């Protein structure tokens, strides 16, 4: 049958983001010029967002295998074995460019999309975390984006009944034009019932179910995430619109179909819509697929075939079933009112053939669409001059140690996130054992129905990444992000099982950005190998640049661990007056590149100190074992703002002060506020801390108690009451009047 649609040329290809060489390659593979449908499908599947054409070779260097890995990269989500036949699925993805255009729907649909990735493999979503980056909060634009993005996350998660249990928010000038909205989700399922996305079985039926297809989101995530945002571009029509109540029906329907064994494979419709889901399913199974767009349920009349194929309308799933199971599949979709419709067939042709009734409107080899996208070698080169302007100084000269502590506690990157996370339901589903600001990682009970008198197995999850540290040193900064996650898990008594990542960078075609990306991936790989916490999946978001330049290079790391008893999960707050306070672990404080340096308006350093990964892993293991044994009253890793900020946060979380005598110091500011990985503030009985000192470096220097934090160092004494600390730490409150 002859293809009948018009055949656009190279100008149309350029308009869709393809290079002349890529267009020529498409013509070569088809043996003719592509028509409108084919060009649209190629342009999306060969976009950066869908093909990872500038990063796939780098991703192949990451460690992805381990004894607990059930599903690794290449599926909708990764999964790790947590025993008793169960697996925990998890993944993090970006929705940066849509959120910069329309923050409420951009963030909301980011949550919806990552949830679909979880239940697409047969796991029930049990938690969401978010990682957010905005410009400085004194910017009206950044405050607007923050307000609306947080509202969108809360709207979707709260409505669908999945708790938002953790996350992070950073404010830095390089994110002013291009904010970052990364969403991570976790789910739990029986290993034997998990399903992969690959289509299989010649003659099997392809079924679309969920919301109807409309023009909203056409070219949305795939186009927006594959180019820099310009100041004068109106991209609002390409942002998808989400409906969490429709997704709740979709979730329950998908899980019932899988539980009843009715499906061969299942895939969600995300970026590039039906084009991506169908082609990737066909590629995964080594088969062909025929799709009839005339059968696709539409919200809008007279949609063109290419519009139907590339629409990114939300809350849709695509599945493959055997013909004799079709009636049962449709019956289940009818029960859940998600409009299941048979729209195609699995074939042995090796081609994606798109029909409109009897009219063939597109015919492409699956391999050409999915597997033969050109992959590019990066041309990394370290920048010859600083890429980022120094921050505006906000700390008054001569502020002193006490003034520096209070200024750090109210700094945008350290102040309490309570005004944000109180908009999220963190307790729905009754699994949450440690919620935000109670511990360094969220803790979730695997079986909430289990008798609480018996040990209740649990998982812990955390998400982290410091763009400023990575901008100072992409390799060591990325290592620090991985170590920070593992330290957060250690503080609650959890052992890492697996890692996910979202690589947020600028334009990889620029040598300095390629260098940032290459070095950061190298750092992530080295750290994950050292910790034996393999990468099971993730996302890449490039071209995060605006008119003012690139964002900070921001690899966001998510990590999942396990612990034997949720009741023994550690907390960060001081819990017992009279307990000894100590600094533990392999900690070497350094001021350049830290939060105090930012308040002082200092330029980024040219590099960060190296670390011994083996020593830090051993220290994390010692803290983890002490928490599990109940030997510690509190454990909190040293992060932004350094050691004294960590102590102040432990005071505030527990409602107890502390008295510290730190002895002599050549540089008190470095001692108190220097940053670096591998350090912990712990409290507990002196005998227990002395025993811990046999397993990791540890220095006891104070006692818990009172209503103030009192510090003596290098002969200087200063104090701040809990009320003063609390007032400073609540500085974000005015953002949400």
- CA 368 to each of CA 49, 288, 363: distance values in angstroms, whole numbers, following the listed order: 17, 12, 11
The first and second tokens of residue 576, run together, are 């017992």
DSSP SS3 for 418: helix
How close are the terminal C-alpha atoms of the chain, in Å? 64
Would you tell me how many other CB atoms lie within 10 Å of the CB of residue 113?
26
The first and second tokens of residue 716, run together, are 């200087």
Would you tell me how many other CB atoms lie within 10 Å of the CB of residue 337?
9
Are 613 and 479 within 8 A, CB to CB? yes
The first and second tokens of residue 593, run together, are 């590149």
Nearest to 524 by CA among 560, 489, 482, 467: 482
Indicate which residue of 49, 512, 671, 729 is catalytic.
49
Euclidean distance between CA atoms 615 and 620, whole angstroms: 9
Residue 507, phi then psi, degrees to nearest 5: -75, 110
Active site residue 54: no
- CA 511 to each of CA 47, 140, 399, 492, 518: distance values in angstroms, whole numbers, following the listed order: 20, 33, 40, 41, 10
- Pairing between β-strand 265-268 and β-strand 316-321 as defined by DSSP bridges: antiparallel
Q: Tell me, what DSSP letter sits at residue 324?
A: G
DSSP SS3 for 132: strand
CA angle 241, 96, 244 (to 5 degrees): 30
Q: Exposed/middle/buried for 693, CB within 10 Å: 0-12, 13-18, 19+? A: middle
Long-range contacts of 214-217 (CB under 8 A, 24+ apart): 214/298, 214/299, 214/300, 214/303, 214/311, 214/313, 215/300, 215/303, 215/307, 215/311, 216/240, 216/241, 216/311, 216/312, 216/313, 217/241, 217/273, 217/311, 217/312, 217/313, 217/314
Euclidean distance between CA atoms 217 and 222, whole angstroms: 10
Token pair 């895939």 in the structure block, residue: 267
- Pairing between β-strand 634-637 and β-strand 708-713 as defined by DSSP bridges: unpaired
Indicate which residue of 54, 95, 155, 351 is catalytic.
95
Residue 351, phi then psi, degrees to nearest 5: -120, 150
Active site residue 351: no
DSSP result, 18-82:
--HHHHHHHHHHHTS---HHHHHHHHHHTSHHHH-TTTHHHHTTS----TTEEE-BTBSSEEEEE
Kindly give, in sequence order, each residue whose CB lies less than 8 Å from that of residue 115, ignoring residues fewer than 6 positions away: 125, 128, 160, 162, 185, 247, 251
- CA 117 to each of CA 130, 217, 268, 728, 729: distance values in angstroms, whole numbers, following the listed order: 15, 18, 7, 40, 36
Are 485 and 462 within 8 A, CB to CB? yes
Nearest to 75 by CA among 207, 268, 223, 248: 268
Euclidean distance between CA atoms 634 and 184, whole angstroms: 27
- Catalytic machinery residues: 49, 95
């Amino acid at each position: 049958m002859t293809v009948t649609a018009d055949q656009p040329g190279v100008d149309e290809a350029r308009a869709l983001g393809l290079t002349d060489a890529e267009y020529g390659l498409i013509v070569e593979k088809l043996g003719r010029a592509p028509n409108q449908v084919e060009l649209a499908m190629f342009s999306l599947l060969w976009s950066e967002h869908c093909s990872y054409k500038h990063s796939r070779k780098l991703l192949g260097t990451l460690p992805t295998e381990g004894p607990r890995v059930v599903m690794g990269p290449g599926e909708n989500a990764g999964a790790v074995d947590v025993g008793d036949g169960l697996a925990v699925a998890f993944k993090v993805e970006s929705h940066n460019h849509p959120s910069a255009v329309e923050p409420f729907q951009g963030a909301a649909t980011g949550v919806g999309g990552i949830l679909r990735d979880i239940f697409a493999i047969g796991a029930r979503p049990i938690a969401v975390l978010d990682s957010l980056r905005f410009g400085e909060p004194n910017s009206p634009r950044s405050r607007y984006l923050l307000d609306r993005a947080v509202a969108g996350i809360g709207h979707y998660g709260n409505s669908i009944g999945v708790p938002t249990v953790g996350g992070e928010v950073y404010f830095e000038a390089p994110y002013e034009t291009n904010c970052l909205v990364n969403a991570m989700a976790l789910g739990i399922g029986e290993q034997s019932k998990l399903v992969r996305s690959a289509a299989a079985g010649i003659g099997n039926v392809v079924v679309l179910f969920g919301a109807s297809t409309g023009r909203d989101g056409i070219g949305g995530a795939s186009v927006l995430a594959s180019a820099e945002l310009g100041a004068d571009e109106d991209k609002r029509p390409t942002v998808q619109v989400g409906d969490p109540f429709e997704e709740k029906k979709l979730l329950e329907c998908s899980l019932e179909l899988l539980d009843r064994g009715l499906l061969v494979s299942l895939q969600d419709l995300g970026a590039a819509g039906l084009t991506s889901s169908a082609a990737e399913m066909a590629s995964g199974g080594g088969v062909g697929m025929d799709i009839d767009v005339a059968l696709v349920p539409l919200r809008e009349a007279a949609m063109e075939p290419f519009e139907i194929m590339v629409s990114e309308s939300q809350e849709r799933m695509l599945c493959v079933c055997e013909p004799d199971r079709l009636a049962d599949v449709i019956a289940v979709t009818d029960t859940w009112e998600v409009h299941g419709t048979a729209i195609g067939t699995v074939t042995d042709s090796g081609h994606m053939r798109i029909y409109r009734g009897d009219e063939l409107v597109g015919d492409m080899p699956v391999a050409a669409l999915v597997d033969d996208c050109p992959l590019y070698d990066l041309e990394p080169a370290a920048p010859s001059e600083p890429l980022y302007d120094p921050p505006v100084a906000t700390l008054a000269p001569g502020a002193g140690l006490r003034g520096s502590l209070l200024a750090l506690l109210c700094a945008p990157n350290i102040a309490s996130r309570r005004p944000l996370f109180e908009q999220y339901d963190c307790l729905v589903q009754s699994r949450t054992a440690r919620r935000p600001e109670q511990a360094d990682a969220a803790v979730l009970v695997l079986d909430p129905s289990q008798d609480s008198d018996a040990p209740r197995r649990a998982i812990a999850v955390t998400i982290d990444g410091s763009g400023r540290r990575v901008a100072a040193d992409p390799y060591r900064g990325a290592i620090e992000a991985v170590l920070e996650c593992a330290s957060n898990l250690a503080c609650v008594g959890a052992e890492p099982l697996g890692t996910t990542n979202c690589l947020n960078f600028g334009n990889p075609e620029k040598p300095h950005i390629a260098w940032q990306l290459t070095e950061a991936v190298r750092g992530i790989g080295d750290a994950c190998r050292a910790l034996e916490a393999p990468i099971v999946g993730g996302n890449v978001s490039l071209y995060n640049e605006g008119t003012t330049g690139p964002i900070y290079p921001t690899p966001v790391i998510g990590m999942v661990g396990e612990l034997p008893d949720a009741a023994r999960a550690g907390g960060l707050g001081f819990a017992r007056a009279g307990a000894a306070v100590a600094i533990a672990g392999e900690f070497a404080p350094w001021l350049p590149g830290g939060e105090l340096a930012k308040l002082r308006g200092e330029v980024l350093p040219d590099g960060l100190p190296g670390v011994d990964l083996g020593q830090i892993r051993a220290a994390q293991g010692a803290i983890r074992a002490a928490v599990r044994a109940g030997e510690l009253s509190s454990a909190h890793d040293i992060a932004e703002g350094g050691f004294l900020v960590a102590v102040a946060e432990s005071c505030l979380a527990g409602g107890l002060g502390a008295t510290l005598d730190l002895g002599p110091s050549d540089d008190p500011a470095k001692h108190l506020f220097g940053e670096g990985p591998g350090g912990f503030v712990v409290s507990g009985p002196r005998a227990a801390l002395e025993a811990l000192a046999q397993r990791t470096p540890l220095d006891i220097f104070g006692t818990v108690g009172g209503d103030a934090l009192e510090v003596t160092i290098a002969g200087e004494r200063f104090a701040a009451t809990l009320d003063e600390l609390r007032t400073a730490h609540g500085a974000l409150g005015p953002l949400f009047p």
